[in-house]
Structure 1
Amino acid sequence: MVKLFARPLPIDPVTQKANAINIFSIGKPYMRAFHFSWLSFLTAFTGWFAIAPIMPAIKKDLNLTVAEVGDSNLTSIASTIIFRVIIGPLCDRFGPKRIMAALLVVGAIPVGLSGLANNASEFITLRFFIGVIGATFVPCQFWTTQMFSSSVVGSANALVGGWGNMGAGVTYVIMPIVLEGILSRGVSEHNAWRIAMVVPAGLCLVVGLGCLLFSDDCPQGDWSRRGLSIEQTSKYDADEVYNANSEKNNATKVEKSDAASIDSETNVPARTAVKNPTIGTFLLALKNPNVIILMFMYACSFGIELAVDNVIGYFFYEHFALSLKNAGLIGSLFGLMNLFSRATGGFLSDYFYQKAGIRGRLLVHFIMIFLNGIFLIIFHFSLTGLNQSIVILIIFSYFTQACCGSVFGIVPFVDPTIVGAISGLVGAGGNVGGLIFTGVFKAYSHDTPAAFLVLGGVTIGVSLMTFLMKIDGRRLLEIRRK
């Protein structure tokens, strides 16, 4: 199983990537990048979804209609699609650290300015620009892909993605408390929510600057040094990794030409030149049917997560006539499940990869996405009582998020030469799904339980596309011809 507490970190002598994880370390370059990737994404979520937990207060103050609330939710997700597609190739060119920092700092501006909205059109416009911060998912996943080898990359991606997504749950806890605290100081309802929005904006600025100043892009340090040999760089902490030269000497000797092209343990290209990002990069990625399928898969996992994050607190507030604080606490359960749910999708993907190769990853993914659809349908029938609704909410949130982890356990194997572009496209597929499913919730705004039934049916249908995928020449089910 994946080593989560390895010390020192074993390093692959060919790829220079870490073969294990130590979540209690903050050493450079590997674990420092690991922790900044999830912390940055979590902080981005606090800005991106800060409005959702206090939407009832905003709706009342700005006299928004149900349709206008739905439009604002759609807008905040729609804009992220554009930015995610652009950000992937930018990561390939400039490295994840600078792109992550830029997104947080730039995204903090519309988050902080959202309190200036006085009507629906201004509010919706600001939510459009807040959407830029949702693109932080791409450098988050790209970063750990650069730092960790194929044997643990699924777990690393799932951990940072899941802990980052947990920001939605954290926001559902924090923002109602912040709002109540401001109101208790005698501030009017008109001004309280506006002041509250300064908190996530400030967090984005602080973490963005910290990310830029205190982390590395890749094992060699700065992105400009990527591809240098171990002997050419001294960026390792002595107590953080095995001595690279001694490990190299103890490793099985192979010809350099073979070592440079194939990772003997995983049969995945180990040191493949990354193509410069161009329009052709996107076209090359889109010509691969696996990329298209993964975009659908991510639409039915992360896309569902985005759509539910936007409505779940307000739904419990309305459906069960709860207080804003209690509805927020229940809504937070959905996001807080990311503490371990997405990670288990990555762990299981890595574990079965070691047992059965890429077919193991495909099997885990199919199980996760299929059960995701099943429990979304069950949730529709559980809404007759609060307690049972909460239980099923927790179960379907687990499979929704674990499915996100299993998707990005597959992504690095589709085409290692354009991982950034593929990550961007698959990530954008998640946002397209979020946009579509948020539209479903808007269409069923007067019958929200029916929307969950629709989401479940679509997800079950998409899960069957797993059998069409062919990675490294292997399918989940292979028909042997005599």
Structure 2
Amino acid sequence: MTGEKFNLISFTGKMKVLHASWIAFFITFLVWFNHAPLMQAIAGTLGLSSQEIKTLLILNVALTIPARVIIGALTDRFGPRLVYSVLLAVSSIPCFMFAFADTFLQAAIARFALGFVGAGFVIGIRMVSEWFPANELGTAEGIYGGWGNFGSAAAAISLPTVALLFGGDEGWRYAIASTGAICLFYSVIYYRTVRNTPEGSTYFKPKQVGGMEVTSKGDLIFLLIMKVPMYAALALLTWKLSPSNIDMLSSTVSYGMYIGLVFLYIFDSYKVIQVNKNLFKEPVPEIHQYKFKQVAVLNILYFATFGSELAVVSMLPLFFSEVFALDMVYAGLLASAYAFMNLMSRPGGGWISDRCGRKKTLLILTAGLAVGYLCMGLVDGTWPLWLAVAAAMACSFFVQAGEGAVFAAVPLIKRRLTGQIAGMTGAYGNVGAVTYLTVLSFVDYQTFFFVIAGTAVVGFITLLFMEEPKGQMAEVNEDGTVELITVS
């Protein structure tokens, strides 16, 4: 850690790393959602049906669930500087492929591969945690997440104009390709700008690779159970692509993928057990122990916060359009207020967490989340439009401040595993989005909001079992000495 003051207008030391990292995250979201505002033009050029458009939207998030877990492990092993730079450079390739695709199949393959860029978020979580002390960590992580997350809104605002500047029916191709060029260019900038740790600090790595380390046999079983929803979400995505839904995959391929997911879970479980086999021989010294329940609680909370954000952003324009009989352009502008809240809400949640405590902040924000979505479920055509928009923005504050508070706690569990913990928690956000959007396909808008409110209540109950991070956590230097890292 460095002793310099927290100064947002500074571009040296730890502040330089924070600015460089949120810009990297901003670019990943710019690329990840570059298709959304141009989908009408893309569909016209490629002759896509409504089912094919829905398929592209699903494929865009499908790979992000396993990608966040994988990227988290790679970050812990090789360091955020290298992993973020490589991710940005490699992600430019499917971005260019999508920009110049001539068929639906080419576009679908490129969009599926681009799901990997959505994993960039977890890299910066580890990077920021290396540079900021515990009393500033929530604010720093909130700025990283909130300002970076704005990349999706920036895509919606800027890319249609860029497409018009290039002109013609295929201006969208050059608009999307420009984001790939930015991604490739910034990969070099990031690598040359940052370092993994401050001068003289140690970058702690996991003792083994291949699975997350836990420190008790009970936690090992808990970890294996918590992995099930991630595979279930991938099975749910397979079902959406099967003949039972949009019919992109044949029955044979669908069943093959189901079987493949079962075997992949078995293999994943085997690797986790191998990494933690020492637990069956001798107990982990108390100084090195951590409680996996801390991770599980944050997973569930991110399921409800970021999962609901992704789902609501996808449906809110249509909700305003249908409930209040608005044209889609006006409805889209009103709905954009929900995403704009990210700029202040997520840093605000981290800042409050730094000053009021991790658990207390999460309890208040999760309760607000439940009440907010309960109110959204009561919105109907009899409400004044301004009141419905105000309810959506208030709900958005609790959602995004809650996200900031979750990741104010993630780096305080076990330093050398921060990437893997962030990866798993981040993946649960995508699991939440898949779950909520699937629910929406079966129920009306009001029930959809009530379901989210219900999961927020579940999150509040599980939060009661979380322990406030306090004292110090221990990590071992390469020379065998123990370093104590303050977490409160």
TM-based fold match above 0.5:
yes
Amino acid at match of 2:421: I
Displacement of 1:468 after TM fit? 1.6
1:197 aligns with 2:176: yes
1:52 aligns with 2:27: no
Amino acid at match of 1:309: V
1:73 aligns with 2:72: no
Aligned to 1:211: 190
* Alpha-carbon distance between aligned partners in 1 of 2:348 and 2:340, rounded to the nearest angstrom: 14
1:21 aligns with 2:6: yes
Which of 99, 104, 107 is matched with 2:83 structurally? Answer: 99
* Alpha-carbon distance between aligned partners in 2 of 1:74 and 1:48, rounded to the nearest angstrom: 12
SS of match in other structure, 1:468 = coil
Aligned to 1:350: 354
Which of 433, 452, 462 is matched with 1:455 structurally? Answer: 452
SS of match in other structure, 2:336 = helix
Amino acid at match of 1:158: G
Deviates more, 1:52-61 or 1:302-311: 52-61
1:128 aligns with 2:112: yes
Show CA shifts across 1:28-58 (max 9, x none). Answer: 3x11111011111111111111222333444
Aligned to 1:12: none
* Alpha-carbon distance between aligned partners in 2 of 1:83 and 1:24, rounded to the nearest angstrom: 33
Residues 341 and 283 of structure 1: CA distance in aligned 2, closer, same or farther (over 3 Å): same
Amino acid at match of 2:346: R
Give matches, 1:427-446, under 5 Å: 427-444=426-443
Which of 196, 208, 212 is matched with 1:281 structurally? Answer: 212
> What's the TM-score, normalizing by structure 2?
0.74
* Alpha-carbon distance between aligned partners in 2 of 1:216 and 1:335, rounded to the nearest angstrom: 31
Amino acid at match of 1:227: T
1:177 aligns with 2:152: no
Amino acid at match of 1:302: F
Deviates more, 1:278-287 or 1:92-101: 278-287
SS of match in other structure, 1:279 = coil
Aligned to 2:370: 373
SS of match in other structure, 1:341 = helix
* Alpha-carbon distance between aligned partners in 2 of 1:209 and 1:326, rounded to the nearest angstrom: 40
Contact 1:96 1:139 in 2 (8 A): yes
Residues 199 and 321 of structure 1: CA distance in aligned 2, closer, same or farther (over 3 Å): farther
Identify unmatched segments of 5+ residues in structure 2.
Answer: 224-290, 472-488
Contact 2:126 2:411 in 1 (8 A): no
* Alpha-carbon distance between aligned partners in 2 of 1:213 and 1:346, rounded to the nearest angstrom: 28
1:87 aligns with 2:86: no
Residues 200 and 291 of structure 1: CA distance in aligned 2, closer, same or farther (over 3 Å): same
Aligned length: 396
* Alpha-carbon distance between aligned partners in 2 of 1:59 and 1:310, rounded to the nearest angstrom: 18
Displacement of 1:193 after TM fit? 2.7
Give matches, 1:265-414, under 5 Å: 273-282=204-213, 286=223, 288-313=292-317, 316=320, 326-352=330-356, 360-384=357-381, 386-414=385-413
Amino acid at match of 1:138: V
Give matches, 1:462-473, under 5 Å: 462-472=459-469
Deviates more, 1:169-178 or 1:90-99: 169-178
Displacement of 1:212 after TM fit? 1.2
Residues 392 and 412 of structure 1: CA distance in aligned 2, closer, same or farther (over 3 Å): same
Amino acid at match of 1:369: T
Amino acid at match of 2:410: V
Contact 2:358 2:468 in 1 (8 A): no
Aligned to 1:426: 425
RMSD after superposition: 2.7
Displacement of 1:192 after TM fit? 3.2
Contact 2:359 2:467 in 1 (8 A): no
Displacement of 1:169 after TM fit? 1.9
Amino acid at match of 2:68: R
* Identity within the alignment, %: 31
Contact 1:168 1:309 in 2 (8 A): no
Amino acid at match of 2:91: G
Displacement of 1:72 after TM fit? 2.8
Aligned to 2:100: 116
* Alpha-carbon distance between aligned partners in 1 of 2:439 and 2:5, rounded to the nearest angstrom: 41
Residues 121 and 342 of structure 1: CA distance in aligned 2, closer, same or farther (over 3 Å): same
SS of match in other structure, 2:212 = helix
Displacement of 1:20 after TM fit? 4.0
Identify unmatched segments of 5+ residues in structure 1.
Answer: 1-15, 229-272, 353-359, 475-482
* Alpha-carbon distance between aligned partners in 2 of 1:472 and 1:31, rounded to the nearest angstrom: 25
Aligned to 1:246: none
Residues 125 and 324 of structure 1: CA distance in aligned 2, closer, same or farther (over 3 Å): farther
Residues 181 and 429 of structure 1: CA distance in aligned 2, closer, same or farther (over 3 Å): same
Show CA shifts across 1:237-294 (max 9, x none). Answer: xxxxxxxxxxxxxxxxxxxxxxxxxxxxxxxxxxxx5433513435558371221221
Show CA shifts across 1:323-381 (max 9, x none). Answer: 665454334322221111001110110001xxxxxxx3111101112211221232233
* Alpha-carbon distance between aligned partners in 2 of 1:421 and 1:47, rounded to the nearest angstrom: 23
Displacement of 1:175 after TM fit? 2.6
Residues 442 and 367 of structure 1: CA distance in aligned 2, closer, same or farther (over 3 Å): same
* Alpha-carbon distance between aligned partners in 2 of 1:61 and 1:207, rounded to the nearest angstrom: 29
Contact 1:437 1:455 in 2 (8 A): yes
* Alpha-carbon distance between aligned partners in 1 of 2:331 and 2:37, rounded to the nearest angstrom: 8
Amino acid at match of 2:196: D
* Alpha-carbon distance between aligned partners in 2 of 1:337 and 1:363, rounded to the nearest angstrom: 22
Residues 178 and 280 of structure 1: CA distance in aligned 2, closer, same or farther (over 3 Å): closer
Displacement of 1:317 after TM fit? 5.8
Aligned to 1:152: 136
Contact 1:84 1:135 in 2 (8 A): yes
> What's the TM-score, normalizing by structure 1?
0.75
SS of match in other structure, 1:151 = helix
* Alpha-carbon distance between aligned partners in 2 of 1:443 and 1:144, rounded to the nearest angstrom: 40
* Alpha-carbon distance between aligned partners in 2 of 1:61 and 1:376, rounded to the nearest angstrom: 38
* Alpha-carbon distance between aligned partners in 2 of 1:110 and 1:318, rounded to the nearest angstrom: 35
* Alpha-carbon distance between aligned partners in 2 of 1:108 and 1:70, rounded to the nearest angstrom: 23
Show CA shifts across 1:430-451 (max 9, x none). Answer: 122222223333445xx44542
* Alpha-carbon distance between aligned partners in 1 of 2:43 and 2:451, rounded to the nearest angstrom: 27
* Alpha-carbon distance between aligned partners in 2 of 1:307 and 1:282, rounded to the nearest angstrom: 32
